[in-house]
Chain A
Amino acid sequence: MIRMWTDAASAAFGSRGGMDPSKKKDRFQAALDASTSTFFAVLSAMGQSGSSDALLKSTAAFPQAWMKMANTALQAFSDLQRLWVERMSRIHASTQAYQFENLDENVFKIWNEVYEKEIRPYLRVPQLGPARFYQERFNETLDAFNRFQTVLGEFFRLLYLPVEKSLDILQETLKQKAEAGALPKTSKEFYQEWIKILEGHFMTLFKSEEYTGILKNTLDVMEEFLEKRKRLVSDWARLFCLPTQDEMDALYKEIYLLKKRLRVLEKRTSSGQR
């Protein structure tokens, strides 16, 4: 039956192959011809005596092979999953170090540690292929952006602290005043009381070393992100044949220096004329 079918197919394709050989074949035609001849060779081999038996045996062995492949894939998947679970448990372990009772204070430290240890490495996986530098720069920018967001969050949390504390103290003050029967009579008085406390807390915060440190860190991380972003944008600028910021800066510097030299020359000339 196979032989019959291959003969029929061979006759059909043979008519195509019978085209005038003097005609120049295009690349598509050549590829088709090559595929066809391979196909015929396989079919012929299958039509030979003994091949059918082998094929039948192979067919019987197919589920077994499939099971093997599936098992391997499943094993790989479960290994990967295990790695993830381990990683997640490490995340849990690293968070434990900070005690969740003080979640407000520690959440940024926890997230930062989790990000640095467990997520960041993925963005630092070496890239392959001709576009590796572009992909790497993209990953670096994404990494810098994530870090900037984290640090910015911490900075804003710090700025919110005086608000929170001032409200607590206001409550306490009002309680004391209520007990003394001297509650403010207008909302403006309430507000004045609060803004005074708030201002005091901000001043205390701003003079603290913790604030100065976080402010510096926020600026540093923001600048790192802007630098990375600039490099990414430069890639795109080059793609569209646009001058990059660095190229423009170099040009500006050249103009600046030329103008400066020109001014000196002008001054010398005018003083010489006098």
Chain B
Amino acid sequence: MDTPKISVDLILEKLAQEAEAARRKAEKGSSILLEALDTTIAQTPYDVVWEEDRVRLKHYRPVAPPRMKTPLLVVYALINRETMLDLQPGRSVVQGLLQNGIDLYMVDWGYPTRKDRFLTIDDHVNGYMDTMVDFIRRQHRVPALNLMGICMGGTFSVIYAALHPEKVKNLVTTVTPTHFDTDQGLLHIWMKGVDVDKMVDTYGNMPGDLLNLGFLLLNPARLMIDKYVGFFENMDNRAVVENFIRMEKWIFDSPDVPGETFRQFIKDGYQKNLLIQSRMEVGGKGVDLKKIRMPVLNFYGRYDHLVPPDACAQLTKTVGSRDTEDVCLDTGHIGIYVSSKCQKEFVPKIVDWLAKRDDGKPVQQKKTRPARKKSRKADTRENASPA
């Protein structure tokens, strides 16, 4: 008798074993889900030192002696929340920077409401950001600070650095879109055809949930199926479950984006690609990238499907600075900040780069009372979603 090509009995036996393993996993997983889990995010203590309208400036409490004179201000995107930089102890960019002696400030854009729909990029950059920068400069008695932007916050930081170059000592951009006319990312393709006027006129603010749906549709096979299959495969592992839920908390914590800001960002960025050509206008002034003469460190992810390398890499070739550096990491849009591998490269690189460009010892900070003290737990929104 011939040996069959496929050992059906073996396959069936394997499937039976898998079914039994899945049953055991589901049993253990359900008991883990029913227990109290630690899924708190953004646990690093900070003080709110300035606030206006919905916007707050967080100052993280130092955990190590200051290593440089110039403080660092991190500007997050208006899409999702800055809690992504502090997901959990051991997987936190915030903690990494603090442990390396960086005096760290971070913008919390808050949750825009309907009344914020008329706020433009000018209001965010020349209004809130400029006021915060001035506040920090006064606090530290420095003429300029280090500015680090993330994604859309990076675009804001680039605009700010071009409009107020005297106030920025070093500029760090991470996954920052500046060149929008690319076909590398689906977002860039889709946004070209969108009637953004109609959208903003209808919604007022751009609903975070709608944006989230759009992001999920960029790769539904991975983001809507595979991700949850992976979760069920590991649901008997408590640590994995906790991390997964932390990420879910962050990713679906999506504030609305102020309508007029969204309108300009899409029109001037995705549809007209004005920024990289130094043709964008903010607050009636032209944003000339040649005015960015401070050192620029530019990070991006090789597999970033939201802001592809092509959208980021042209910045360093366009700015007026001669001291520029591109760092392309083998990861995606979020991996730069949360993957264990990138944690080892990302923070140390920033710290070393900034330290080399810092001139002098830190000065005693001006003593002021924080606008509001925050406890560790106070900022943990149970219903929060991603930044």
Q: Which residues of chain A have a CB within 8 Å of any CB of chain B?
A: 159, 162, 178-181, 183, 185-188, 191, 195, 198-199, 202-203, 206-207, 212-213, 215-216, 219-220, 223, 226-227, 245, 248-249, 252-253, 255-256, 260, 263
Contact = CB atoms under 8 A, between A and B. Distances in A.
A198 B115 contact: no
Interface of B: 5-6, 10-11, 14-15, 18, 114-115, 117-119, 123, 127, 186, 189-190, 193-195, 198-199, 202-204, 217-222, 225-226, 229
Contacts of A203: 219
B205 to A, nearest CB: 11
B6 A178 contact: yes
Contacts of A199: 219, 221-222
B221 A256 contact: no
Contacts of B18: 186-188
A256 B119 contact: yes
A212 B117 CA distance: 27
A197 to B, nearest CB: 9
Given A185-B14, A212-B190, 15 more contacts: A159-B217, A179-B5, A187-B18, A195-B225, A195-B226, A198-B225, A202-B220, A215-B193, A216-B194, A219-B195, A223-B198, A223-B202, A252-B118, A253-B118, A256-B119
Contact of A252 (B6, B114, B219, B229): B114
Among B18, B203, B220, max chain A CB count under 10 A is at B220
B368 to A, nearest CB: 18
B26 to A, nearest CB: 14
A188 B217 CA distance: 24
12 contacts: A159-B217, A185-B11, A186-B14, A186-B18, A195-B222, A202-B220, A212-B193, A215-B193, A219-B195, A220-B198, A223-B202, A248-B114
Main secondary structure of the interface of B (DSSP, over half): helix
Contacts of A219: 194-195, 199
A214 B204 CA distance: 23
B242 to A, nearest CB: 24
Contact of A159 (B5, B115, B203, B220): B220
B114 A249 contact: yes
A179 B5 CA distance: 8
B252 to A, nearest CB: 20
B97 to A, nearest CB: 31
Ranked 4 nearest A-B pairs via Cβ: A181-B5, A199-B221, A223-B202, A252-B115
Contacts of A183: 6, 11
A249 B221 CA distance: 39
B221 A195 contact: yes
Contacts of A188: 18
A240 to B, nearest CB: 19
Nearest to A192: B226
A220 B204 contact: no
A115 B186 CA distance: 33
Contacts of B118: 252-253, 256
A187 B203 CA distance: 45
A215 B218 CA distance: 12
A191 B119 contact: no
Contacts of A179: 5
Given A181-B5, A183-B6, A186-B14, A216 B195 contact: yes
Contact of B190 (A180, A185, A198, A215): A215
A145 to B, nearest CB: 15
A206 B186 contact: yes
B256 to A, nearest CB: 14
B229 A191 contact: yes
Given A187-B18, A219-B194, A226 B221 contact: no
A227 B221 contact: no
Contacts of A249: 114, 117, 204
A178 B11 CA distance: 12
A234 to B, nearest CB: 14
Contact of B219 (A178, A187, A191, A202): A202
A47 B225 CA distance: 89
A207 B189 contact: yes
A159 B222 CA distance: 14
Nearest to A180: B5
Contacts of B202: 223, 226-227
Contacts of A180: 5
A211 to B, nearest CB: 9
Contacts of A256: 115, 118-119
Looking at A186, A215, A256, which has the most chain B CB atoms within 10 Å of its CB? A256
Contact of B117 (A159, A181, A227, A252): A252
A194 B120 CA distance: 45
B193 A216 contact: yes
A226 B199 CA distance: 10
A147 B114 CA distance: 27
A196 B194 CA distance: 29
Contact of B10 (A185, A227, A252): A185
Most buried by B among A159, A188, A223: A223
B226 A255 contact: no
Given A186-B18, A191-B229, A181 B204 contact: no
Nearest to A215: B190
B186 to A, nearest CB: 5
